[in-house]
Amino acid sequence: MDSIRAEIISIGNEILAGYTINTNASYISQELMRIGLPVGWVTTISDEHDAIMHALDTALKRAKAVLVTGGLGPTPDDITKKTICEFFQTEMVFNAEVFEDVQNFLRTRGVDLNRANRDQALVPAAARIIRNKMGTAPGLLLQKNGVYFFFMPGVPAEMKYITSSFITDFLAKELRLPEVHNRLLRTTGIAEAKLYERLKDILDLYPDCQVAFLPRHIGVDLRFRLISNEQKDIHRLEQFVKAVEERAAKYIFTDRQIELEERLGEILVEKNLTLAVAESFTGGLLSSMLTDVPGSSRYFLGGAVTYSNESKMRLLNVQEKTLASHGAVSEETVLEMVSGVQEHFASDCAIATTGIAGPTGATPGKPVGLCYIAARYKQKTAVRKFHFGTDRIINKKRGAVAGLEMLRRLLLNI
Amino acid sequence: MDSIRAEIISIGNEILAGYTINTNASYISQELMRIGLPVGWVTTISDEHDAIMHALDTALKRAKAVLVTGGLGPTPDDITKKTICEFFQTEMVFNAEVFEDVQNFLRTRGVDLNRANRDQALVPAAARIIRNKMGTAPGLLLQKNGVYFFFMPGVPAEMKYITSSFITDFLAKELRLPEVHNRLLRTTGIAEAKLYERLKDILDLYPDCQVAFLPRHIGVDLRFRLISNEQKDIHRLEQFVKAVEERAAKYIFTDRQIELEERLGEILVEKNLTLAVAESFTGGLLSSMLTDVPGSSRYFLGGAVTYSNESKMRLLNVQEKTLASHGAVSEETVLEMVSGVQEHFASDCAIATTGIAGPTGATPGKPVGLCYIAARYKQKTAVRKFHFGTDRIINKKRGAVAGLEMLRRLLLNI
C-alpha cells in the first residue's frame, strides 16, 4: 500500500438495512479513478456519534482524502455535523452566505423556509463551504493532519454535483496527482475468454500497458490506463489501443461512455434512417431501451409487442401457415415479423425477436433460452439463432442487445 | 450500541473501482434484518493481506457475526484463504469432500477440471465447510473469541445460496435471536408526506409499534417490525397493521414482497382476463415490466409502441382529426389509443400512455412531464392527467406504474 488512496464513508441506516443500494460509492470511485486517485476503502456506518468518530479516526490514519456522504439532510436528528465539530475541534456557526443560498434555492422552487432549512446554514467554523446548486445542504471541506475530509449530502444528484464541480479538480491539484490517461473500448457479441484469446499476442507485445477486461451482461468493456506525462508513453498507449481496436473492430461499438442503443441512434441519425421493432422474446425491452435515449423520437417510429400468435398475424402479417408448420419460435417466423413491422411502420430499418424467455415454456426441441433475431435494412436482412440461458430477465436483456448489435453491423456493413 | 450487530466485509477491487455496485451487501443486510440481526457496518476493501487482516481484526472487536464476500474465486492470485489461515492461526488442508463436490459440479456442466478448480478443495483446517451447490468455492465458517466469521464467494447466486440455505438459520439459532415479526404493506399513487398525514392518528395510537416509511420511485413501502414472543404484543401488531391497511386501502397493492406488475398479473389470472397496452410516453417500458413476470403470456397479449402520429393512426385507429385538433398529448388521443389497442388485440383490458417524457419536446401549454394515461376494462374507462418531473427515465417508470395502478383500481372497483 505505497500509493496514496482515498476512503469513502457512507452514513445511512437505509443502506445498512439493505433497502438502498450504495450507488453513491460506485460513482465516487469511478470519478476518483479517473483522476488517478484509487479508493482503498468504502465504509458504511450508521448515523451514530461513536460510529462516525471511529470511522473518521480510522480513515485519518490510512487515507489521503476522505469523502463522506449522508447525514447532512434537513432532518433534526442528524448528528453528523455535531460529530464533525467534535472531531475537528471546531464549533458550529451561522453562515450568512449559505443561508442566502438556501433561501434562493427554496424561492426558485416556490417552497417556504422552515426551521430545518434554516439549520442548514449552521456549519462548522473551520469548514470551507462547497456550494450545492442541487439542494439546501452545502458541501464541507475540512483538513486534519494533512488529510482532506469532504462531507456531502447523500442525495445522488447533490453528491454528484459537489464531486464533479469541486472535489475532483481540487484533489487533482492539491495532491499533485500524476497525469492519468484513460481509454475505453466497449465491445459486445464476444465472450471475455474469446476476446482475451483474440487479443493475447497484442497484450504480450505491450506488457508495459495496462488494460482491464470488465464483463457486463451486454458485453465486455476494455479499460486502458496509463499514469505518465512522458510523450513517448502516451504515444505507446495510443498505439496499443489502436492495435486492439483493429483486431477487435467488429465487436467494438464505441470508445465513449455510451450504451449500444445510443450508438445505434447516432448511426441512424447520421444516415437519416428510421427504425421500428417487433418483439416477442424481448417483450418490449428493446423499445424501452431505444426510447431511454433522449431525442430517440427522431428515428424510432415505434414497435409491436406480439406475445400471442393472433397478434403476430394481425399486427405483423405473419402467415398462419408459417406459425402452424414452423412454430412461433423459428427462423421463418422472425423473418416474417421483421418484414411485417418494417412494412407496417414504413421504416427503413427493423429488428424482430422471438424465442422462449423462460423459466417455463420449453417444448421438445425448443429449450428455454432459444431465440431467433432478425435485423433488416431496406432489402437486406440478417438473421441469427441464439442459445441464451435460463434467467428470464437476463435473456430479455441479451436478446435486445443482440438485436441492436445485428442492426449496427448491418448498417456499417461489418 | 447495546444490541448485537453483524458486519459485512466485501473484498473486491471491482467494487472499489466503482465498476461493480455492491448489491451483495444489500441482499445480506435484508436477510439479516429479517431474522432480527441488524448490520452495523459494511466495509469494502481490496484483495490485499494487510487490508484483510485489519478489517477482520476491527470486525472482531465490534460485531457478533461477520459475513465476508469475495476473494474466494478460482484465480490464483486470491490471497484471502491464506490470510484467513493466518488470522485464525490454522493451516490449509486438502478436503476430499469439497473436492468431490467440485468434481460433481463441473461434471454436470461438462467442464474439465483444471488446477485452479483443484485448489478450491484447499481449505483452512479449522473451518467448518458450508456446501455451495451453485459454484465451486465452498463457504467457510470459523470462530474467534465467540464471533462467527462466514466466508463466501462474491458471485451473487453463490452468496445468496450460502446465506439463505445456511447462515440465517444458523445465526438465528446460535445467537438465540429474539423472534422478529415483519409485516409489509406496499403502496403506490400517494406521496410519503400525504401517506404520513393520512396515517398520523393511527401512528399516535400505537406509539409502541414500529413502522418505517420507505419511499421508492414507484411508491412507498411500509415496513412493520416487532421483536417479541409475547402473544399480546403480536396481537397488537396485527391490530396496528390492520388499522393502517383499512385507512390506506386504496393505495396498498400487496402485503408481500412482489411488484405491482406481478400483483396485477395475479388479478388478471384470477378473473381470467387478457391485457394489451398502447405506449407512447412509456416507450415500451410498460410492456417490458409486464413481460418481466414469468408466465405473463397467460394474460398479456401484447402492445403497440406508437412513437409517431402515423403509427398511432395506423396501429391504433387514432383519428387524424383528433391528433390535429387536440394533439398527440391529450385526453382525447389517449382515449382513442386505449380503445384502439383493446380492439386490435381483442383484449378484455387495456392501458394507454401519451405525454412528453423529456428532457426536450415541450411545446407552449404542454411542458415536459405532462402525461395522459387511460385504463380500460371491457366498456369502463378511467383517464387521468399527470404532471411528472423532467427526468426521462424516472418519468417512464412513473408513467408505467401509474397505468398499472389505474387498471388495478378499475378491476377491483376501488
Interface test with B, best of A31, A42, A363 (most B CBs within 10 A): A42
Q: Around A141, how many Cα atoms within 13 Å sit in the side-chain half-sphere?
A: 17
List of chain A residues whose C-beta atoms are within 8 Å of the C-beta of residue B23: 21
Same domain, A247 and A329: no
pLDDT at B78: 64
What residues of B are in contact with residue A291 (Cβ under 8 Å)?
Answer: 283-285, 305, 307, 357, 396
In angstroms, the separation between the Cα of residue A224 and the nearest Cα of chain B is 13
Of B30, B303, B311, the CB nearest to A18: B30
Same domain, A100 and A243: no
Chain B CB contacts of A51 under 8 Å are 1, 40-41
Q: Which three cell numbers mark B350?
A: 387495456
Identify whether A314 is part of a domain. yes
Assigned domain for B105 exists: yes
If asked whether residues B84 and B58 sit together in one domain, one would say yes
A380 within domain boundaries: yes
DSSP state at residue B367:
-
Q: Are B244 and B378 found together in one domain?
A: no
Looking at the fold, whether B198 and B82 belong to one and the same domain comes out as: no
Residue contact B17–A1, C-beta within 8 A: no
**How high is the ipTM of this complex?**
0.89
The closest CB to that of B291, out of A297, A307, A315, belongs to: A307
Q: Is residue B108 in some structural domain?
A: yes
For residues A400 and A367, the answer to whether their CB atoms sit within 8 Å is no
Say yes or no: B134 and B27 in one domain.
yes
Domain co-membership, B383 together with B398: yes
CA angle B222/B223/B227 to nearest 5° reads 150
B52 and B148 in one domain? Answer: yes
Burial (CB < 10 A; 0-12, 13-18, 19+), residue A378, is: exposed
Using the predicted structure, report yes or no on whether residue A367 has a pLDDT greater than 70.
yes
Element (H, E) at A401: helix A392-412
Q: For residue B258, count other CB atoms closer than 10 A to its CB.
A: 15
A158 by Cβ neighbours in 10 Å (0-12 / 13-18 / 19+) ranks as buried
Among A1, A51, A306, the residue with its CB nearest the CB of B48 is A1
Check residue B259 and give its pLDDT.
97
For residue A344, list chain B residues with Cβ-Cβ distance below 8 A. Answer: 314-315
The Cα B127–Cα A160 span in angstroms is: 43
- Measured CA angle at B44 (ends B43, B48), to 5 deg: 120
Helix or strand holding residue A40 (H, E): strand A39-45
pLDDT digits 0-9 by tens, B222-234: 999 888 888 999 9
How far, CA to CA in Å, does A304 sit from each of B280, B305, B399?
Answer: 12, 6, 19
A321: Cβ contacts below 8 Å, ≥ 6 apart: none
- C-alpha A311/C-alpha B300 separation (Å) is 11
Of A26, A38, A43, the CB nearest to B43: A43
**pLDDT given for residue B254 in this prediction:** 98
| Boundaries of domain holding A339 | 260-412
Amino acid identity at B171: L
User: In this predicted model, which residue has the larger pLDDT, A165 or B14?
Assistant: A165
Tell me the pLDDT tens digit for each residue of B111-140.
787 777 788 889 999 999 999 999 888 999
Residue that terminates a domain, selected from B107, B141, B174: B174
Q: What CA–CA distance (Å, rounded) separates A320 from A327?
A: 10
The answer to whether the Cβ–Cβ distance between B22 and A25 falls below 8 Å is yes
CA distance B155 to B193: 39
A129-183 tens-digit pLDDT? 999 999 888 999 999 999 999 999 999 999 999 999 999 999 999 999 988 899 9
Contacts of A302 in chain B (CB under 8 A): 304-308, 311, 315
Stretch B313-323: mean pLDDT, rounded? Answer: 95
pLDDT in tens, B91-116: 999 999 999 998 998 888 777 877 77
Cβ pair B288:A284 closer than 8 A: yes
Q: How far apart are the C-alpha atoms of A411 and A136, rounded to whole Å? A: 48
Is there a contact between A198 and A375 (Cβ–Cβ < 8 Å)? no
Specify if B231 maps to a domain.
Answer: yes
Contact (CB, 8 A) for A66 and A9: yes
At residue A185, what are phi and psi to the nearest 5 degrees? Answer: -125, 125
State the nearest Cα–Cα gap between A281 and chain B, in angstroms. Answer: 9
Check residue A229 and give its pLDDT. 82
Q: Residue A310 is placed in which grid cell? A: 393472433
pLDDT tens digits, A202-253? 999 998 888 989 888 889 999 998 888 889 999 999 999 999 999 999 999 9
Show the CA angle centred on residue A46, arms to residues A45 and A48, nearest 5°: 120
Q: Is the peptide bond before B207 cis (omega within 30 degrees of 0)?
A: no
Q: Give yes or no: residues A328 and A408 share one domain.
A: yes
How large a percentage of chain B has pLDDT more than 90? 81
Query: In the predicted model, is pLDDT for residue B382 greater than 80?
Result: yes
CATH number, position A144: 3.40.980.10
Record the cell numbers describing residue A262, joined without a space.
445510443
The shortest C-alpha distance from B316 to chain A (Å) reads 10
- Which residues sit opposite A201 in a β-bridge? none
Distance CA B401, CA B189 (A): 9
Contact A39 B16 (CB under 8 A): yes
Cα–Cα dist A138/B32, whole Å: 34
10 Å Cβ neighbour count for A175? 16
Among residues B205, B232, B254, the one where a domain terminates is B254
pLDDT at A77: 54
Per the structure, the count of domains in chain A is 3
CA dist., res. B146 & res. B132, Å (int):
25
A38 contacts in chain B (CB < 8 Å): 16-17
Q: Which residue of B has its CA nearest to A37?
A: B17
The chain B residue lying nearest A290, using CA atoms, is: B283
Contact check, Cβ <8 Å, A359/B46 = no
- Strand intervals (E) in A78-138: 92-94, 122-124, 128-130
Residues B316, B341 contacting (CB under 8 angstroms): yes
Q: What is the pLDDT of residue B1?
A: 42
Q: Which residues of B touch A393 (CB under 8 A)?
A: 292
φ, ψ of residue A148 in degrees (nearest 5): -90, 130
**What element of type H or E holds A310?**
helix A309-316
Beta carbons of A284 and B290 less than 8 angstroms apart: yes
For the CA atoms of A386, A392, A396, A398, the dihedral, rounded to the nearest 10 degrees, stands at -50
Q: How far B39 CA lies from chain A's nearest CA (Å)?
A: 6
Q: What is the DSSP string of A226-264?
A: EE---HHHHHHHHHHHHHHHHHTGGGEEESSS--HHHHH
**B154 neighbors B24 (Cβ within 8 angstroms):** yes
A103 falls within a domain: yes
Distance separating alpha carbons of residues B412 and B273, to the nearest angstrom: 13
Name the residue among A27, A41, A283 with its Cβ closest to that of B291.
A283
CA distance A237 to chain B (A): 21
Same domain? A242 vs A199 = yes
Write the burial class of residue A201 (CB in 10 Å: 0-12 exposed, 13-18 middle, 19+ buried): exposed
Question: Does residue A89 come out as left (phi exceeding 0), alpha (psi in the -120 to 50 range) or beta?
Answer: left
DSSP output for B74-136: S-TT--HHHHHHHHTT--EEE-HHHHHHHHHHHHHTT----HHHHHTTEEETTPEEE--TTSS
Report the chain B residue with the minimal C-alpha distance to residue A361. Answer: B295
Tell me the count of A-B CB pairs closer than 8 A.
239
3-state secondary structure of A359: coil
What contacts B68, CB < 8 A, 6 or more positions away? B8, B9, B10, B11, B56, B80, B149, B150, B151, B152
| Set of chain A residues whose Cβ sits within 8 Å of the Cβ of B393 | 292
| Cell triple for B236 | 397488537
Instruction: Give a yes or no: residue A1 inside a domain.
Output: no
**Which carries the bigger pLDDT value, residue A73 or residue A91?**
A91
| Segment holding A35, helix H or strand E | none
| Rounded to 5°, angle at Cα A13 from A124 and B72 | 115
Contacts of B26 in chain A (CB under 8 A): 15, 18-22
Averaged pLDDT, B67-71:
93
Q: Between these two residues, A361 and A370, which has the higher pLDDT value?
A: A370
pLDDT, mean over chain A: 93
From chain A, the residues in CB contact with B314 under 8 A are 344-345
**Closest approach of B69 to chain A, Cα-based (Å):** 14
Q: Both A159 and A23 in a single domain?
A: yes
Q: With 0-12 CB in 10 A as exposed, 13-18 as middle and 19+ as buried, what is A354?
A: buried
Is B1 domain-assigned? no
CATH of residue A193's domain is 3.30.70.2860
- Is residue A82 a contact partner of residue A112, using CB atoms and an 8 Å limit? no
Of A246, A224, A221, A273, the residue nearest A411 (C-alpha): A273
Measured between beta carbons, the chain A residues lying within 8 angstroms of B311 are 276, 301-302, 345
Average pLDDT in the B163-189 region?
A: 95
CB contact under 8 A, A40 and B46: yes
Query: End of a domain among A204, A233, A254?
Result: A254
Of A44, A294, A310, the CB nearest to B42: A44
Q: Name the band, by pLDDT with cuts 50, 70 and 90, for residue A1.
A: very low
Print burial letters for B57-84: b (CB count within 10 Å at least 16), e (below 16): ebbbebbbbbbbbbbbbbeeebebbebb
Q: Is A219 exposed, middle or buried (0-12, 13-18, 19+ CB in 10 A)?
A: buried
- Nearest Cα neighbor of A10 from A81, A62, A69, A61 is A69
Question: What CATH number is attached to the domain comprising A264?
Answer: 3.90.950.20
CB contact under 8 A, A40 and B25: no
Select from A266, A246, A276 the least CA-distant residue to A349: A276
- Kindly state the percentage of chain B with pLDDT values over 70: 98
Mean pLDDT of chain B: 93
β-strands A180-187, A252-254 pairing: antiparallel
Within 8 A by CB and 6+ apart from B109, the residues are: none
Do both A162 and A215 map to the same domain?
A: no
pLDDT value at A315 more than 60: yes
